[in-house]
Amino acid sequence: MPIALVVHGGAWDIPDDQVEAHHVGCQAALKVGWQILSQGASALDACEVALRVLEDNPIFDAGTGSVLTAAGTVELDAAVMDGTTLRYGAVANLRHIRNPISLARKVLEGPATMLVGEGAEQYALDHGIALIDNHQLIVERERALWEAWKESGESAVEPTYASEVGGHDTVGVIALDQHGNLVAANSTGGTPFKLPGRVGDTALIGAGLYADAHIGAAVCTGWGESITRVALARRAIDLLERGLAPQSAAEVAIRNLARQPSGGRGGCILLTPSGQIGMAWNTRRMAYAYQVEG
């Protein structure tokens, strides 16, 4: 049984001057996750460690460096799913957590499946995760974009300017460990200038992620509303279950995303129990890195 790790750093119109930073960021997360995975760590551990590297890298829209809401604050979502037990943990609307993926894992290991806002942050405190000031998550790049957006007079409900500046950098990881378990995990700051309280696909099972150790695992990225409407992650897994190869399944899933009435742009990564990888996107670029044993 080969071990494998796939990392993505978002599918959107990544600017030319940010390509190298996205590449380096994905490689760094892969390296850290692979190091412990190859030493016998669980897929769950590998996903959490790799995701924390991505959350701590300000180039990505997750954790530190996330895009700002219409109110000028950062709100974070994350989720993780264990393909063997089908246990799932998600958190949303976090304003005071540096690494949401670690809290999502705590939720997975507890009695709930999703916690949001103040309740999620109290759960964090109860389980030894410290809170931080929201401003510690904000970087100057995103503050400047938010100020330009405010001056443009655009609406958070119809984010034309948001789509132009990009920032659909939902980050995700899928790991396959030596015991054959598949785990999918993701984290995001959401879409630029979103309505406060908005939750996209990232934290939603079947939309932003899904894992079944007998079939495969999927993690999605892009414009969350369009991904949620078609339950993109579960749709990709269904294609695997019908016998499609992972690359074909990824491509068909993204074509289905684009065909919905309102259109849809994004990407997805897939990993099977045998270590086969699939990935597709219909945006200009998607940042990714992967490694398979052998």
How far apart CA 35 and CA 196 sit, in angstroms, is 38
Known binding residue 219? Answer is: no
Annotated ligand binding at 13? The verdict is no
| 149 annotated to a ligand binding site | no
Half-sphere exposure of 26 (CA within 13 A, CB side): 24
- In the chain, how long is the greatest CA-to-CA distance? 55
| Residue 64: active-site member | no
208: left (phi over 0), alpha (psi -120 to 50) or beta: alpha
Neighbours of 2 (CB within 10 A): 13
CA 48 to chain centre: 12
- 76-82 vs 285-292, strand pairing mode: unpaired
Gap between the Cα atoms of 132 and 21, Å rounded: 26
Out of 170, 188, 228, 283, which one is annotated catalytic? 170
* 205 touches 79 (CB < 8 A): yes
223 is in an annotated binding site: yes
Does 33 appear as a known binding residue?
no
Q: Which two tokens stand for residue 88?
A: 């799932």
3-class SS at 122? helix
Q: Hey, how many other C-beta atoms are within 10 angstroms of the C-beta on 144?
A: 10
Instruction: Determine the Cα–Cα distance for residues 147 and 149; give it in Å rounded to an integer.
Output: 5
- Is 83 annotated as a binding-site member? no
**Residue 201 marked ligand-binding:** yes
Nearest to 290 by CA among 18, 26, 20: 26
The Cα angle at residue 255 between residues 167 and 44, in degrees rounded to 5: 60
The answer on whether 281 is annotated among ligand-binding residues is no
Report how far residue 258's alpha carbon sits from residue 271's, in angstroms, rounded to the nearest whole number: 22
Q: Under a CB-based contact definition with an 8 Å cutoff, are residues 12 and 169 in contact?
A: yes
Annotated binding site for substrate: 198-201, 221-224
Kindly list the catalytic residues: 170
Annotated binding site: 198-201, 221-224
